[in-house]
Structure 1
């Protein structure tokens, strides 16, 4: 982990220390012994470099309200081993706040009422991030660090700090799951979260067909539905997908594009992936499946909770999905029948048969965390964040507590058998009792945690191994315009238009109708200012490449 240098306060502090040392030396030259005072100075300097949470743990405990902008998050604080341990070591108790219903409405209401909780965690791409910063509603983390806890500079990644530092020289947010180009280049065990999954027993029963071509894919889905119309009395869902939302559906857009190796740029220009010929060709395959009744209504209307329930029942034949979000369901399937689990196989490919482009998370990570200026204990909040980002904090959130959840064997941590068995079979009970394995994922560092990785269960081993294939870094293409700007509004409108267009394309009654819907999308998008937006995105990615050191 790197340290960010050059902050004014820290330079001033260094000058003061040098001045003090010079003064001490001068006094010694006048016949006094400076050794004792120099020793005290060294003690003070060492104390300043200690994590602030070690000091605050001796003070009165505080409770911080932490808003998590995901309605599905439901792991409480204070009941399991990990949260109790963290509170004991930091003196901080957490009161989680999550939205009921629409996340955007809840967060916008908190911003409008100037009632943001102490800590806020949300997706890095959400426009409310820049809105909170521009409205001066959140602290600059670097200023809190310089004033209260310089340990921040020891536990943050220099590339991530540089990336998130704004034009005013401040950093207001810090990511979880952040991966840099350097991480990808230096680590063979980094994974992509995107895979093409099939239910093992059904896939093998239909002859383990090649599903990389439109013809092979179509035939496999049709055959699976004919041979297995029901799963335990419930209809088979031939093609599964992530939920549809106001941005589209990642299974049918981004994941499919990546599987087809659709590029993010061409000839130095930001590329329009949404109208790529290969992508359109495959969307028409899904359209045809829909026309013939193989796209179940469920996938268009189900919430994430409903989808996860059906995953646990093994009701999907195939799906492009993020494997890490279905590991609990995978373990349930394995416990019931080891052959009913999902496995990763080669999925849709372009006509040239190119390998997929499967991105990792980027330097942006998945979510970012900020400290609200409503926080009455900002010094405790920054120290608490630093605890979670430190190697010690990461070890606690990932492994739990030595002697209770794991033991050291030959210098490596190994989960206790009963703990691992529970983790592999009943995640809900595991979280309630232990709360490790990143149940509190808000500041997880996946690269750091690789050093403690455990042997995977038989249910998940194949998925984890497959996830290392076809890895690419694409963080230079992450583009978010400042909230409230004309560009942000245009981008939002076009994204919303796509979210309405995608299901219409999949449900079109013919290829001719599909073409008309697509052409209407293009025309409306052009009227909204699409060409100008693409120019600005191109300028942004060139800037990002420089910032990340990408040729």
Structure 2
């Protein structure tokens, strides 16, 4: 999330108190957008380009805060959208409604029974909390069946090719057997699976980062910190080193993740005890599927965190700090180590202050990054009440053609980019704006996705992506002489990460089986992360044991054994169907 655009949206976020059932909210069409409606499609195609679709406005409701935080003031007045309208006739009204969470806004608006032409949502896979809402809407007839359009499309027809889609995307989302058509689909599918390749120019190197000055003062190479003991000993040395932050206060050896307090970074911090590799589940030595709470690994992980907290090696607000303060303590160097950030955040690429730490070894004793194959992200659906839904689908299909993707990512030729040796290349002034972090210009004037640095809507709704072959660079501007992300690439080169393929879905994807509906309902009431945090702050070992035993009893009462037996059966039939490794 860009800080400049976040400030621009502070006033807008106050609208979160409004009744969520309204579709009114932030919109990309200027002041008159709240009453914008789809215009009738034009039947006169004379003197129109071959790419022409219809003279109409498509209204999109986005349940994606990254889209809401980067919406242009008037999307149709950006250079990118002007070019798109010239070629297709289509204008857009992209809306975003702030609220407690995007999924809560979605639930409220779905409950009202009406949605605009198109909805787009977060959906990494079928285990995300948005999926039950989308699935129910599909079953309730809120979405249009696009299977006929998809089969005859230029790009999305690839979804029917064997092996093109990741298994979860194919089986659980796009082509569900208990739906009689295609009612929702994921985007951001890679044309070619490069998940095991390591290309420094496009790698996001996440996880823990340590202050360079502290690493130098201690004389350590952060890449050599690979075990839990290594990590603990480093934290002790930092505390004993008397290091100060920008305000002269003692640093905390380990601080929260850059984006705010959370239990999520524990996958980096307690990697050696992170037994629940498949969304808290894994295969035990006896071959049975178990939740981490049912194993001693839970105690190992909790006890390690308790030791860090009790010895003052970990910020006591590690799990709870709000995003504003977390960014502040990071920028003030109040944490010697940030629990999680990546090389494409300005705090990292904007100076030499931070370098990656580790990564730590996992339960297998290696520190390779686990990948699952092709990427897949986001979800789209067309309203069953939309006028001429085939035009809407045709537009998003065209947007994912090579021609559409170049415009969506780079903008208008001759304005923000030129073609050089067959590839789009950003103009020098646009590269400078990227370097300067001028998001207002990038969003409101150019209006293209720019690989996530501009209007995120156009980054989010593309599919069949192959930037290397189509653009000759992993993201717009990456090949420029003075890339905005030069240090991001340098970090990726200096701190390479090995990868290992572990195919399959997280175990919880199989909770969506119809025969487990009652178990799923009960399991969704349980919160392991909250229980884990509670145990970390327990006053005694006996209290820790009581908390864990209580959660184990809740799991059993919810029917976890039925679920685990079902997952084991799925795994036995096809070991590559579940993300397990011993």
TM-score, length-scaled by structure 2: 0.71
Corresponding position: 1:272 with 2:291: yes
CA contact (8 A) 2:416 2:430 kept: yes
User: How far apart are residue 273 of structure 1 and its match?
Assistant: 4.3
- Aligned counterpart in structure 2 of residue 502 of structure 1, from 514, 529, 532: 532
Give the 5 Å matches for 1:384-533: 384-426=395-437, 428-429=439-440, 430-434=442-446, 435=448, 436-438=450-452, 439-440=456-457, 441-445=459-463, 447-451=465-469, 452-453=473-474, 454-455=478-479, 457-465=485-493, 466=495, 469-477=498-506, 479-480=508-509, 481-482=511-512, 485-494=517-526, 496=527, 498-533=528-563
CA contact (8 A) 1:130 1:482 kept: no
Corresponding position: 1:343 with 2:355: yes
User: How far apart are residue 448 of structure 1 and its match?
Assistant: 1.0
What is the CA–CA distance in structure 1 between the aligned matches of 2:407 and 2:497, rounded to whole Å? 25
Structure 1 residue aligned with 2:176: 166
Structure 2 residue aligned with 1:355: 367
Q: Which has the larger share of helix?
A: 1
User: How far apart are residue 217 of structure 1 and its match?
Assistant: 1.4
- Aligned counterpart in structure 1 of residue 246 of structure 2, from 226, 231, 243: 231
Give the 5 Å matches for 1:39-58: 54-56=51-53
User: How far apart are residue 153 of structure 1 and its match?
Assistant: 3.9
Give the 5 Å matches for 1:191-206: 194-206=206-218
What is the CA–CA distance in structure 2 between the aligned matches of 1:213 and 1:133, rounded to whole Å? 47
What is the CA–CA distance in structure 1 between the aligned matches of 2:85 and 2:507, rounded to whole Å? 35
User: How far apart are residue 74 of structure 1 and its match?
Assistant: 1.2
**Structure 2 CA distance for partners of 1:286 and 1:243, relative to 1, 3 Å:** farther
What is the CA–CA distance in structure 2 between the aligned matches of 1:448 and 1:323, rounded to whole Å? 22
Give the superposed CA RMSD. Answer: 3.9
What is the CA–CA distance in structure 2 between the aligned matches of 1:293 and 1:284, rounded to whole Å? 14
Structure 1 residue aligned with 2:233: 219
| More off after superposition, 409-418 vs 88-97 | 409-418
Structure 2 residue aligned with 1:81: 79
Give per-residue Cα distances to partners, 1:502-533, cap 9 Å, x unaligned: 22133234445434322322222222211112
What is the CA–CA distance in structure 2 between the aligned matches of 1:52 and 1:320, rounded to whole Å? 52
Give the 5 Å matches for 1:43-442: 54-56=51-53, 59-70=54-65, 73-77=68-72, 78=75, 80-90=78-88, 91-124=90-123, 125=128, 126=130, 127-145=132-150, 150-154=153-157, 156=159, 158=161, 159-160=164-165, 162-163=170-171, 164-167=174-177, 168=179, 170-178=181-189, 183-184=193-194, 187-189=197-199, 194-208=206-220, 210-225=224-239, 226-232=241-247, 236-237=251-252, 238-241=254-257, 249-253=263-267, 256-257=270-271, 263-264=277-278, 265-266=282-283, 270-273=289-292, 277=296, 280-304=299-323, 306-308=325-327, 310-312=329-331, 314-321=333-340, 323=342, 327-331=345-349, 334=350, 338-340=351-353, 342-350=354-362, 353-359=365-371, 365-426=376-437, 428-429=439-440, 430-434=442-446, 435=448, 436-438=450-452, 439-440=456-457, 441-442=459-460
Give per-residue Cα distances to partners, 1:302-356, cap 9 Å, x unaligned: 34455445555554432443627x524434xx2xxx321x322323324763233
CA contact (8 A) 1:69 1:98 kept: no
Give per-residue Cα distances to partners, 1:267-293, cap 9 Å, x unaligned: 775453455655643442222111233
Give per-residue Cα distances to partners, 1:68-101, cap 9 Å, x unaligned: 2437831114154334433443312122223322
CA contact (8 A) 1:259 1:358 kept: no
What is the CA–CA distance in structure 1 between the aligned matches of 2:551 and 2:557, rounded to whole Å? 10
**Structure 2 CA distance for partners of 1:536 and 1:547, relative to 1, 3 Å:** closer
User: How far apart are residue 113 of structure 1 and its match?
Assistant: 0.8
CA contact (8 A) 1:179 1:447 kept: yes
What is the CA–CA distance in structure 1 between the aligned matches of 2:367 and 2:559, rounded to whole Å? 33
Q: Secondary structure at the match of 2:93?
A: strand
Q: Secondary structure at the match of 2:265?
A: coil
Q: Secondary structure at the match of 2:466?
A: helix
**Structure 2 CA distance for partners of 1:103 and 1:277, relative to 1, 3 Å:** same
CA contact (8 A) 2:204 2:492 kept: no
Aligned residues: 483
